[in-house]
Amino acid sequence: MYNNKKVIAVLPAYNAAATLEKTYNEIPFNLVDEVILCDDASTDNTVELAKSIGIQHVIKHDNNKGYGGNQKSLYNKALDLGGDIVIMLHPDYQYTPKLIPSMVNIIGDELYPVVLGSRILGKGALKGGMPIYKYIANRFLTLFQNILINYKLSEYHTGYRAFSREVLESINFNANSDDFVFDNQMLSQIVYHGFDIGEVTCPTKYFDEASSINLKRSIKYGLGVLAVSLSHRINKIGLIKSKIYTKK
């Protein structure tokens, strides 16, 4: 608990057995009340391991629903459990759980209702092993989005995020894609509905066991990001009204 707010960490998992326990052991349980893991039809023993190390809530998808579909299950469950602050932490150990206290404090003290762990703030992205093509694409897409969405973030593509309950209850995240562009749609929805976003510097870690999408999927994601940005601007000026921008 933090300021009488229930804190829940949600872990979107796919073949995460090699890094799950290390990630879980670094979660600050003096702040985090409950952990939810959603396994998206892994082929390894992620589910069994999650239960054996004590994760309270384990959701298993019998069929792979995609990264966005995984998050939908997690956020809906977190709201059902009464979460007031919900942190998405990847169980592949690419993002350090040691930033959770900072993210919880920012939301719990009502400084910002959304916090992102940015790999771009500072100069650690390339030093931490981010592939150069991903870094260049990140910078280009972020510039494009900052212009079209009319907001300013250091990056829109981090998977380390924390949300207040109010945000998750307000945006229609269930209408989003089940693919990787889900993350980008969420940020577009958040800005569209007038919520502010804070950022904290997050160390970058790329290693063999860390999950990463290949070049083909990266290109598909990039095109999806461009489409989200254009849709955001068109909806904002009132030319159309997409379902994802309607409130719950």
List the domains of the chain with CATH numbers.
7-245 (3.90.550.10)
- Asked whether 232 and 188 are in contact (CB, 8 A), the reply is yes
The predicted structure's pLDDT at residue 212? 62
Instruction: Tell me the pLDDT tens digit for each residue of 147-180.
Output: 999 999 999 999 999 999 999 999 999 999 999 9
When pLDDT is cut at 50, 70 and 90, the band that residue 211 belongs to is low
Confidence of residue 208 (pLDDT cuts 50, 70, 90): low
Long-range contacts (CB closer than 8 Å, 24 or more residues apart) made by 212-219: 213/180, 215/133, 217/180, 218/133, 218/134, 218/137
Q: What is the predicted pLDDT for the residue at 228?
A: 97
Q: What is the structure's pLDDT at 210?
A: 58
Collapsed DSSP state (helix, strand, coil) of residue 37: strand
* Identity of residue 165: R
- Which residues have CB under 8 Å from 139's CB, separation 6+? 120
Task: Please name which of 103, 91, 90, 95 lies closest in space to residue 32, comparing C-alpha atoms.
Answer: 103
Instruction: Tell if the pTM clears 0.75, that is, is over it.
Output: yes
User: What is the rounded CA–CA span in Å between residue 79 and residue 44?
Assistant: 28
